[in-house]
């Protein structure tokens, strides 16, 4: 088995060397070490203990993202097929995840038919609970947010946000795809919700925050950031471990800022270019047979008593 | 491309500023592989409100009142442009 340490902004053959990683982290202010073992990417914060075997984890959950059901085009002629493959891969993990989170852009055009289809498909997931956050593609026009909340909004408050606890971890699921001006946006109602939500938590409670659009400035010129994220994240400085999991950018990317670690997930539909490569975040058409290398699912393991979570990204089989 | 047409390409409206006379019907055509909308800026009270335009979809609106009409794509809000309508 080969083992290789890669920078978080490079997966597979585009990974950087250790020296490039250090330079890169100086520029971005932090980095996450990704360990690539037999095609799997396991991340941990530099200096933290490396991951124990997944089978011993107390909590195991899955993140899938950006299925874009309804998309048609050369970048992926069968988004339903690749999302079905992702679901099969989750169901073949060899363990039953405690829950599955879809981190948004479930649909491409926010139509009721697309929401029906993606909901139907996710009911095939072999897990206790399925959670979602909306993407901007699930929030189009006046009808999009309405259709999303009709399909997925039960047990949420405000415009669709919520929180829950399991295995000692506190999870917060946010909506940052409404009232957009340039970037993702949370709004004061939601920030107030979070303030009240975390007020009683002890600072050693591990926190996981889900949002569709990244809560860090990954590439604002393409809308890859959230304009009021700093207000939100400043409330989390007292916690020992905060993990933010997002979609939207259709590629792996991880970074650390102090106690907060951010992980952008692979999509199940089609990749976008790396930040600033090309004129726009256009769906990338890959050579025949290469699409699945850019798609994938993410599993996250947690051992009670630890602070950090182990995030593992796997390509679509 | 005519004097009353806007092309959506590479996540941009071209031309970014289109000037037409009142009474002109303007047509937006999406040539991108992703979907876009043509939507008046929030709070502007403007009239533009397309559905999501898939590849090769078009949207038209006839401007009757002179003025400056700022609009954007609600899916990709960094895409902004303006139609100026003269008397
Ligand atoms: Cu757009
Ligand atoms: Fe997406
Ligand atoms: Fe998105």
pLDDT in tens, A80-123: 999 999 999 999 999 999 999 999 999 999 999 999 999 999 99
Count of other CB atoms within 10 angstroms of residue A134: 32
Residues 18-57 of chain A whose Cβ lies under 8 A from any Cβ of chain B: none
Structure tokens at A51: 């991951």
Q: Spell out the domain ranges in chain B.
A: 5-86
Mean pLDDT over residues A65-70, rounded? 98
Count of other CB atoms within 10 angstroms of residue B53: 22
Q: Is B5-86 a CATH 2.60.40.420 domain?
A: yes
What's the confidence (pLDDT) of residue A47? 44
| Residues ≥6 apart with Cβ < 8 Å to A126 | A90, A91, A96
Partner-chain residue, chosen from A108, A141, A223, that has the shortest CB–CB distance to B76: A223
Helix (H, G, I), strand (E, B) or coil at A21: helix
Chain A residues in contact with B55 (beta carbon < 8 A)? 72-73
What's the confidence (pLDDT) of residue A43? 63
Residue A181 reports pLDDT greater than 50 = yes
Size of interface A-B (CB pairs under 8 A): 60
What's the confidence (pLDDT) of residue A56? 76
Inter-chain CB proximity A136 and B78 less than 8 Å = no
Distance in angstroms (rounded) separating the CA atoms of residues A224 and A226: 7
Q: Is A4 exposed, middle or buried (0-12, 13-18, 19+ CB in 10 A)?
A: exposed
Partner-chain residue, chosen from B33, B54, B77, that has the shortest CB–CB distance to A182: B77
What's the confidence (pLDDT) of residue A251? 98
Least confident of A239-248, A271-280, A303-312, B62-71: A303-312
Residue B1 reports pLDDT greater than 80 = no
Ligand 2 centroid from CA A11, angstroms:
19
- A185-223 residue pLDDT tens: 999 999 999 999 999 999 999 999 999 999 999 999 999
Mean pLDDT over residues B4-12, rounded? 97
Q: Measured between CA atoms, how close is B34 to chain A, in angstroms?
A: 7
What's the confidence (pLDDT) of residue A19? 35
- B40-84 residue pLDDT tens: 998 889 999 999 999 999 999 999 999 999 999 999 999 999 999
Q: Measured between CA atoms, how close is A166 to chain B, in angstroms?
A: 33
Inter-chain CB proximity A222 and B54 less than 8 Å = no
Helix (H, G, I), strand (E, B) or coil at A195: helix
What's the confidence (pLDDT) of residue A304? 87
Q: Which domains does chain A have, with CATH numbers?
A: 24-315 (3.60.21.10)
A149-154, Cβ contacts within 8 angstroms, sequence gap of 24 or more: A150/A112, A150/A115, A151/A115, A151/A116, A151/A119, A152/A106, A152/A115, A152/A119
Ligand 3 centroid from CA A38, angstroms:
29
Helix (H, G, I), strand (E, B) or coil at A261: strand
| Residues ≥6 apart with Cβ < 8 Å to A255 | A8, A25, A28, A29, A30, A31, A32, A216, A261, A262
Distance in angstroms (rounded) separating the CA atoms of residues A131 and A93: 18
Q: Measured between CA atoms, how close is B74 to chain A, in angstroms?
A: 7
Residues 46-85 of chain B whose Cβ lies under 8 A from any Cβ of chain A: 49, 51-52, 54-55, 74-78
Chain A residues in contact with B34 (beta carbon < 8 A)? 281-283
């Amino acid at each position: 088995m080969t083992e290789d340490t890669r920078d978080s902004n490079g997966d597979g053959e585009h990974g950087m060397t250790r020296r490039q990683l250090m330079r890169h982290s100086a520029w971005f202010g932090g980095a996450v070490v990704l360990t690539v073992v037999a095609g799997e990417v396991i991340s941990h914060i530099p200096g933290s203990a490396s991951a124990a075997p997944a089978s011993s984890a107390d909590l195991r959950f899955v993140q899938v993202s950006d299925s874009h059901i309804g998309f048609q085009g050369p970048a992926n002629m069968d988004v339903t097929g690749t999302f079905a493959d992702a679901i099969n891969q989750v169901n073949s993990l060899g363990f039953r995840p405690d829950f599955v989170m879809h981190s948004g852009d479930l649909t491409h055009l926010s139509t009721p038919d697309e929401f029906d289809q993606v909901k139907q498909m996710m009911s095939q997931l072999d897990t206790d609970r399925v959670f979602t956050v909306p993407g901007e593609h699930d929030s189009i026009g006046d009808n999009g947010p309405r259709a999303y909340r009709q399909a997925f909004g039960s047990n949420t408050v405000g415009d669709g946000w919520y929180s829950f606890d399991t295995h000692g971890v506190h999870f917060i699921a946010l909506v940052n795809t409404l009232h957009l001006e340039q970037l993702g946006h949370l709004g004061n109602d939601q920030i107030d919700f979070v303030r009240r939500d975390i007020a009683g938590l002890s600072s050693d409670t591990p926190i996981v925050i889900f949002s569709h659009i990244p809560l860090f400035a990954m590439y604002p010129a393409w809308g890859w950031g959230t304009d009021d994220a700093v207000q939100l994240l400043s409330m989390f400085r007292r916690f020992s471990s905060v993990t933010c999991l997002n979609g939207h950018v259709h590629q792996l990317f991880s970074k650390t800022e102090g106690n907060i670690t951010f992980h952008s997930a692979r999509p199940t539909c089609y990749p976008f270019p790396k930040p600033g490569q090309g004129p726009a975040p256009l769906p990338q058409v890959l050579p025949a047979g290469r699409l699945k290398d850019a798609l994938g699912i993410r599993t996250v393991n947690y051992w009670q008593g630890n602070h950090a979570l182990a995030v593992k990204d796997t390509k679509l089989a | 491309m005519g004097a009353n047409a806007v092309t959506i390409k590479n996540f941009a409206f071209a031309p970014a500023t289109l000037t037409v006379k009142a009474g002109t019907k303007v047509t937006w055509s999406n040539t991108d592989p992703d979907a876009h909308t043509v939507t008046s800026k929030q709070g502007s009270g403007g009239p533009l409100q397309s559905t999501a335009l898939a590849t090769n979809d078009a949207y038209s609106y006839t401007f009757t009142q002179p003025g400056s009409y700022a609009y954007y794509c609600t899916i990709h809000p960094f895409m902004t442009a303006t139609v100026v309508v003269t008397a």
